[in-house]
A and B are shown apart, each in its own frame.
Chain A
Amino acid sequence: MSNLDTLTQKIREKAKSLLEGGQADVVIGYRTGTVPLMAAPFFARTPQDCDQLVWSSFARLNLANYLPGRTEKVALVAKGCDARNAVGQVAENQYPKDKLFILGVPCSGQVDAAKVAAKEPRPIQTSEETDDSIKLTGPGYSTDLKKEDVLRRNCLTCAHRTPTLANELVGPEVPSLPTDDFSDLTALLAKSSEERLTYFKDLIKDCLRCYACRNACPLCYCPVCFVDETRPQWLGKSTDPMDTMTFHLLRGLHCAGRCTACGACETACPVNIKVREFNRVLDKTVKENWSYEPGLAWDQKPPLTVYQPNDPADFIK
């Protein structure tokens, strides 16, 4: 039995026992999608439902996004990043710890649909997964891709592939990756501020302001987002580039030090904007200044939401 199948089986067994034992009212996990390369969010409420739960490398959305505001006891099928977001939501008082059961899945990385499309531009009918490869079929063809060639960028620098604070892991820990040195940012940070502005302007030139990035993000749980406020209205509603940039910059800052690099924003973006470029620079800043990584402790507040006398203050000149 492949590792994926073992994980799927373990998730189903555990989900059933949690529902039957009354420890959870709902198990939020993934089912097989109706389109290739898709594992879709699924809410299992009965033991029979649990037979639809699966584990795959197409589980790109972050299910912690479904926690805030929920009143039921939730068992959350969580990758390392998702688990950290769930912990972060507990720390930020968005969901009570005593109602949460993290069913942690050690994760070997999730597949980037855009990378797949770059390697196989023909229409894809089906996608089948083994532990190392993906078999694609379409009208008159079949292709095998190595999974490691099509993983998302954020998965390649993931520091916590095995969930750190899970109530239970459904499989053995996966080997850690080398510590993220943010070396991919070297070129960007070497640019002048004008050049960087040009870079970011170009990055978001196709943005439709659908806010799918925000809506897919477990950090963006505000009841009314600043872009939707009308009294006062902070931001124009058109596709004006300045308004669009303001949205991305402010969202980036609101997420600073809280982002777990789950990549759900980039998964949800319908025009393939590398939304995480905004967060990534801020991730680096927070890590270097406060030695802080989000979602590693139940009671740890993000550094930019608290004040400590020994906080670095070099930026005040």
Chain B
Amino acid sequence: MPEYLVKENALADFFRELTQDRRLLTPQGQGENCRLEETDPSKVSLEYTNTHKSPKECFFPQTEKLLAFSKEADKPHPNEYRDLGDKAVATVIFGLRPCDARGLCVADKVFQNDRFTDPYWKGKYEKTLKIGLACLNPSPQCFCAAMGGSPFGEAGLDVLAYPRDKGLGLKTLTEAGEALIKTTKAEPGDLKSEIADLEKKAIEAQGPIDHFVAINERKIMELYKAPHWPTTAEPCLGCGVCTFFCPTCHCFDIQDEANERGGIRMRNWDTCMSALFTQHGSGHNPRPSKTERIRQRFMHKLKYIPIKQDGVRGCTGCGRCVVMCPANIDIRSVAALMAQTQAS
């Protein structure tokens, strides 16, 4: 796929052209106020580190109504659930960081797995074109390269953009991305070697990189039985902030809410850090203490997901959990401990 340029004075037009028949979401605001918002094409900013929350909520909102029923209606039948459908609208997101786009890919393989397709996710995911913004200066708490990604990573994106002379460099990555850029006045250009140089520099900015390769080589039960888990888990508050902010965490609870006339079935984000998450009706709990729950989270990210997704890890190195864990449980330290696990 080819590359394109957008000059500084053509940027506003470029964003207007992108949004001819779709809404535009871009990161707006700074720091903890930075979030993906519907944006006027003239107000797109390239000056942000990353959105505070991960972009998963665009496809998987924290609360989502799935079904409804009425106790009175004759049609379809009283008490018969009907599909509320997904509320997908054609969208282009500009400015996804490559770590987050990669996170969406991991979640997508869960929502559209080998046996079932989640229609609510799929509707929104497939109606959204994703333009990434590469990281020229990764933040100190970023570690995408350690997790197999790159500040110029392409996974999950239709187009990868990067800031270039106050304008943009673009690399189209999918047919849909190419078709979208063709609807704009972006000029063709050969940026291959420039991109390669910038990528190298951005990866070097992340410092010496440990890829924690030994985790891939250890067996599940070797990692599971490692002695460090109780110590790793001891400071955990069980709040689940790590999971709420994680771009790949996708767990949810299904709840009915009803009154005398009818009701809805919805899903809400849930977290494996909560004891109730796995507690059986009988009271038995397969993950009764925070040691099992912490182990589940890190094993899921670094071992279970790679087993199911051809080696791709469930951590993309976005750094949100590292920065936000109130007890400073740092996935980089935990990965290092896992990588030190002895073969049995």
So, do A and B actually touch in the complex, CB under 8 Å?
yes
Point out residues on A near B: beta carbons under 8 Å.
Answer: 33-36, 38, 40-43, 61, 65-66, 114, 117, 121, 123-125, 138-139, 208, 210-212, 215-216, 228, 230, 236-240, 264, 267-268, 270-272
| Residues on the B chain within 8 Å of A124, using CB | 140
The distance from the CB of A126 to the nearest CB of chain B, in whole angstroms, is 8
| Residues on the B chain within 8 Å of A210, using CB | 239-241, 244, 271
* Cβ–Cβ contact B328 & A34, under 8 A: yes
* Cβ–Cβ contact A238 & B49, under 8 A: no
The distance from the CB of B213 to the nearest CB of chain A, in whole angstroms, is 21
* Cβ–Cβ contact A212 & B237, under 8 A: yes
B52: nearest chain-A partner, CB-CB: A271
Task: Categorize the interface residue count of chain B.
Answer: 35 or more
CA distance A121 to B269 in the complex (A): 30
A139: nearest chain-B partner, CB-CB: B137
| Residues on the A chain within 8 Å of B271, using CB | 210
Q: List 25 A-B contacts (CB under 8 A).
A: A34-B322, A34-B330, A35-B322, A35-B328, A35-B330, A38-B328, A40-B327, A41-B235, A61-B327, A65-B237, A66-B235, A117-B31, A125-B140, A139-B137, A208-B62, A208-B244, A210-B271, A215-B239, A216-B239, A228-B274, A237-B255, A239-B62, A267-B326, A270-B324, A271-B32
- Chain B 205-237 residues near chain A, CB threshold 8 A: 205, 231, 234-235, 237
* Cβ–Cβ contact B235 & A40, under 8 A: yes
The distance from the CB of A206 to the nearest CB of chain B, in whole angstroms, is 9
* Cβ–Cβ contact A138 & B140, under 8 A: yes
B63: nearest chain-A partner, CB-CB: A238
CA distance A219 to B333 in the complex (A): 30
| Residues on the A chain within 8 Å of B266, using CB | 238
Mask for B38-70, Cβ within 8 A of A = 1, else 0? 000000000001001000000000110000000
CA distance A38 to B235 in the complex (A): 14
The distance from the CB of A115 to the nearest CB of chain B, in whole angstroms, is 12
B174 within 8 A of A: no
| Residues on the A chain within 8 Å of B235, using CB | 40-43, 66
- Chain B 237-251 residues near chain A, CB threshold 8 A: 237-241, 244-245
The distance from the CB of B160 to the nearest CB of chain A, in whole angstroms, is 22
| Residues on the B chain within 8 Å of A239, using CB | 62-63, 268
* Cβ–Cβ contact A237 & B253, under 8 A: yes
B176 within 8 A of A: no
In the A-B complex, the 3 residue pairs with the smallest Cβ-Cβ separation, listed nearest first, are A40-B328, A212-B239, A268-B326
| Residues on the B chain within 8 Å of A216, using CB | 237, 239, 326
CA distance A65 to B237 in the complex (A): 9
The distance from the CB of A50 to the nearest CB of chain B, in whole angstroms, is 15
The distance from the CB of B257 to the nearest CB of chain A, in whole angstroms, is 6
| Residues on the A chain within 8 Å of B240, using CB | 210-212
* Cβ–Cβ contact B32 & A117, under 8 A: yes
Which of A124, A238, A271, A272 has the largest number of chain B CB atoms within 10 A?
Answer: A238
The distance from the CB of B269 to the nearest CB of chain A, in whole angstroms, is 8
* Cβ–Cβ contact B49 & A123, under 8 A: yes
* Cβ–Cβ contact B268 & A237, under 8 A: yes
| Residues on the B chain within 8 Å of A35, using CB | 141, 322-323, 328, 330
Besides the known contacts A66-B235, A212-B239, A239-B268, 12 further A-B residue pairs in the complex with CB atoms under 8 A apart: A34-B330, A35-B323, A123-B140, A208-B269, A210-B239, A215-B237, A216-B239, A216-B326, A228-B274, A228-B276, A264-B326, A270-B241
The distance from the CB of A28 to the nearest CB of chain B, in whole angstroms, is 9
B230: nearest chain-A partner, CB-CB: A43
A239: nearest chain-B partner, CB-CB: B63
Which of B30, B31, B137, B328 has the largest number of chain A CB atoms within 10 A?
Answer: B328
CA distance A61 to B239 in the complex (A): 13
| Residues on the A chain within 8 Å of B333, using CB | 34
B112 within 8 A of A: no
Which of A43, A211, A216, A270 has the largest number of chain B CB atoms within 10 A?
Answer: A270
The distance from the CB of B133 to the nearest CB of chain A, in whole angstroms, is 16
B332 within 8 A of A: yes
* Cβ–Cβ contact B330 & A43, under 8 A: no
| Residues on the A chain within 8 Å of B327, using CB | 40-41, 61
A272: nearest chain-B partner, CB-CB: B32
Given contacts A40-B328, A117-B32, are A215 and B238 in contact (CB under 8 A)?
yes
CA distance A237 to B255 in the complex (A): 7
* Cβ–Cβ contact B268 & A238, under 8 A: yes
**Which of B49, B205, B269, B332 contacts A34, CB < 8 Å?**
B332
B139 within 8 A of A: yes
The distance from the CB of B144 to the nearest CB of chain A, in whole angstroms, is 15
CA distance A36 to B330 in the complex (A): 12
Which of B239, B266, B271, B324 has the largest number of chain A CB atoms within 10 A?
Answer: B239
**Which of A43, A139, A212 contacts B326, CB < 8 Å?**
A212
B332: nearest chain-A partner, CB-CB: A34
